[in-house]
Amino acid sequence: MPRILLPALAAVAGALQFLSYEPTGWWFAAWAGLALFFFALLRTPTWRMSLLVGFAWGTSTALFSLPWIGSFVGYFPYVALSVVLGLLSMPASWAIWRVGHSNLPMGLRLPGMAALLVAGEALLQRWPFGGFPWLRVAWGQVDGPLAPAVALGGTAAVSFLTALVAVGLVALAGKKLLAGISLMACALVAGSALPLLQPVPEASADAQTRVAVIQGNVPRLGLGFNAQRRAVLQNHADATAELAEQVRDGKAEQPDVVVWPENSSDVSPFTDSQAARIIDEAAVNIGAPIVVGTFTYDNGTQNTMVIWDPKQGPTDRHEKIYLQPFGETMPFRDLLRHVSAMVDRAGNMTPGDGNAVVTTSPKATGGTSSSADAQTTGALTSGASPLKTVKLGLATCYEVVFDGAYRNAVDHGATMLATPTNNATFGFTDMTYQQLAMSRMRAMEFQRSTLVAATSGVSAIIDAHGDVVKQSEIFERKVLTATLPQYEHKTIAARFGLWIEVAIVAFGIVCLVGAFLRHQPRVCRIRKQSEVIH
C-alpha cells in the first residue's frame, strides 16, 4: 500500500469516530474507525510515519467533532485546538505502532495495542492544562452493546473493550480467525454479560423522589449584556412559577428539589439584591429548594451551584472544580494576548475544592403548613408531607467529562447526580447532544438518576440505566418533572474505576516495554501485501 494513503486512512478513521458520537450515534462506526486506525499503523513501516498517522487520526477526529467550538471563539482557535489534539495523539500512536510491530505473542500484542489507546486517553484526561477528554472513544458507545460495562470498569473499560473489538476486526481481516473471534467475543461478553454482576438494585418506595428540571431558555436578540443576564434569570423564575401554579392546581406533583442550569443567575444574588429577591420568590413560590447556577466571590471568582432554600435562603453550594482552559481560565494570557484580542474574553476563575455534593434541608422546607401559610410559602398545601432529603452530586457542564468529578461525589454520599450546563453560546450545534451522552454514560457508570439542566437545551431526566425519561428541545422553555429513586450503593466502577484504568494502562506499558526487550521489530521483514497480523 502506498505510504501516502496511510494518513488518509487514519483521517477516515477519525471521521468514523465522529459518527459514533451523538447526535449521529452510530456506535458501530467507532469499531470500524479504530480498526482502520490500527490497520494503518500495522501497515506503517517506520516510527516517523506512525507519528503522522496518529496526527492525522487525532486531528481528523477533532475537526469533525468540535466545530461547535468555532461558533464561540472563531475558526482559528477551533482549528488550532484540533491540531494540538492531533499532536497529543502522536505518542500513543507511536506506542501502538511499536507494540504492533514487535515479536510479542499475538495474545499480548493485540490487547496491548488496545490498552495503549486507553493510555493515550488517560494522559489526555489529565494533561495539558488539566486535560481535555471530550473525544474519548467511550462517549460514542452510549447506546452500544459495550456500554453496560461502564458500571464495572468506568469509561476506560468501555474504551478498552471497543479497541479490543477493533483489533479483533483487524485480525479477521488478516485471516487470523481464531484470534479475531476470540477478542471480539471477549469484548462483547464483558460488555453485555459481565455487567449482570452489577445490576441496578430494586428501589424502595421511600427512595422515590420528585424532581424538576427548569430550562428557562435565553433571549436571542435585542438585549444588551446586562439585560440579557437578567432576562435569563427571570425566564427561569417564570418557568418555576408556572410549575408552582400547576402544583397548587393539582395538575403536577410537589417536587422535592428543583434544578436550574449553570449561569441561570449570571447576575450573582450574593452581590445583587434584585437577583436574590427573584430567586427567593421563586423558591418560596414552588415551596422547594432550588439549585441555582451563579457566581460567588469569596475566593476569587467561582462558578457556583448553590441550594436556595425557601426559608433559609442560600445554604449548601458546589464551586466548580474542573475549569475549562481557554474559557474559564487562560493559560499564557500575557503571551497569547499578542496573538489574539479574544484572549481577554476568557475568564480568570478560581477552582473549588469541595466534595461536589450539595444536600437539601427538608426540615426547613417541608412539613405541615396551614392553608394560610400555603398562600405565602408556595405549592405545599395543608397537611403536606416533609420534602425528602436529596444528596445531589454535581458536575457543572465541562466537569462531566472527568471521571473524578462524579466519582468524588458518589464517594461522599451522592444519591442523585446533576449536570447543570450553559450551552446557549453553542446554538444548535452538536455540543449539547455530545454532553447529554456523557451524562447518560455517567448515569450508567454510577447507577444514579441524573438530571441535565441546560439554559437553552437539551435538558433531560435520565434514569439509573442511562435511559432518557424526558428531554427538551433546543431553545424552548421547558419544565421537566419525574419521580425517580435515590440510590446509596456504589458500583464496582465507583469503588475501583481508577485502579481498573491504572491496570489497563499498566498492561499497555508492560507490552511496550516487552516490545523493546524482545528481538528487533519485524518492520523490515518481507511481508505479503495481504498480511495484516504477523
Between 423 and 459, where is the model more confident? 459
Asked if 99 and 215 sit in the same domain, the reply is no
Q: How confident is the model at residue 371 (pLDDT cuts 50, 70, 90)?
A: very low
Q: How far, in Å, CA of 211 to CA of 295, rounded?
A: 24
Asked if 172 and 227 sit in the same domain, the reply is no
pLDDT computed for residue 226 by the predictor: 57
Within a domain: 390: yes
Q: How far, in Å, CA of 408 to CA of 386, rounded?
A: 29
Within a domain: 349: no
Catalytic center residues: 262, 320, 397
Burial class (CB in 10 A: 0-12, 13-18, 19+), 44: buried
Three cell numbers, residue 469? 425519561
pLDDT computed for residue 331 by the predictor: 80
pLDDT computed for residue 142 by the predictor: 98
Asked if 119 and 224 sit in the same domain, the reply is no
Asked if 462 and 518 sit in the same domain, the reply is no
Three cell numbers, residue 314? 442560600
pLDDT computed for residue 133 by the predictor: 96
Within a domain: 348: no
- Is residue 31 within 8 Å of residue 162, measured between CB atoms? yes
Residues 6+ apart with CB under 8 A from 241: 282, 285, 286
Percentage with pLDDT > 90 across the chain: 78
Asked if 233 and 192 sit in the same domain, the reply is no
Q: How far, in Å, CA of 407 to CA of 357, rounded?
A: 11
Q: What is the DSSP string of 74-122?
A: -HHHHHHHHHHHHHHHHHHHHHHHHHHTS-S-HHHHHHHHHHHHHHHHH
Asked if 510 and 471 sit in the same domain, the reply is no
Within a domain: 301: yes
Q: How far, in Å, CA of 23 to CA of 525, rounded?
A: 44
Asked if 77 and 132 sit in the same domain, the reply is yes
Q: Which of 149-153, 265-269, 310-314, 373-377 has the lowest mean pLDDT?
A: 373-377
Average pLDDT over every residue of 66-90 = 89
Residues 6+ apart with CB under 8 A from 480: 212, 213, 215, 459, 460, 461, 470, 471, 472
Asked if 151 and 294 sit in the same domain, the reply is no
Report whether pLDDT(357) > 70.
Answer: yes
Specify the number of domains making up the chain: 2
Within a domain: 323: no
Between 418 and 222, where is the model more confident? 418
pLDDT computed for residue 247 by the predictor: 97
Q: Quote the distance between the C-alpha of residue 205 and its chain's center.
A: 30
Within a domain: 235: yes
Burial 111-137 (b: 16+ CB within 10 A, else e): bbbbbbbbbbbbbbbeeeebbbbbbbb
Three cell numbers, residue 344? 481577554
Average pLDDT over every residue of 262-281 = 96
Q: Quote the distance between the C-alpha of residue 174 and its chain's center.
A: 36
Asked if 194 and 221 sit in the same domain, the reply is no
Q: How confident is the model at residue 457 (pLDDT cuts 50, 70, 90)?
A: confident
CATH number at residue 212: 3.60.110.10
Mind listing the pLDDT tens digit for each residue in 484-495?
999 999 999 999
Asked whether the CA dihedral 192, 196, 198, 200 is positive or negative, the reply is positive
Within a domain: 336: no
Asked if 192 and 279 sit in the same domain, the reply is no
By DSSP bridging, strand 391-394 and strand 416-421 are parallel
Within a domain: 295: yes
Burial 12-35 (b: 16+ CB within 10 A, else e): bbbbbbbbbbbeebbbebbbbbbb
- Is residue 391 within 8 Å of residue 409, measured between CB atoms? no
pLDDT computed for residue 1 by the predictor: 65
Residue 332: how many CB atoms within 10 A of its CB?
A: 11
Closest CA to 22 of 527, 322, 351, 438: 438
Asked if 388 and 472 sit in the same domain, the reply is yes
Residue 331: how many CB atoms within 10 A of its CB?
A: 12
Mind listing the pLDDT tens digit for each residue in 203-249?
988 999 999 999 999 886 545 555 688 999 999 999 999 999 999 99
Coil vs helix vs strand at 447: coil
Q: How confident is the model at residue 196 (pLDDT cuts 50, 70, 90)?
A: confident
pLDDT computed for residue 2 by the predictor: 75
Asked if 426 and 498 sit in the same domain, the reply is no
Report whether pLDDT(533) > 60.
Answer: no
- Is residue 140 within 8 Å of residue 150, measured between CB atoms? no
Average pLDDT over every residue of 262-288 = 96
Closest CA to 109 of 432, 468, 522, 485: 522
Specify the residue for cell string 456504589: 490
Residues 6+ apart with CB under 8 A from 1: 43, 529
- Domain containing 439 equals 205-318+358-489
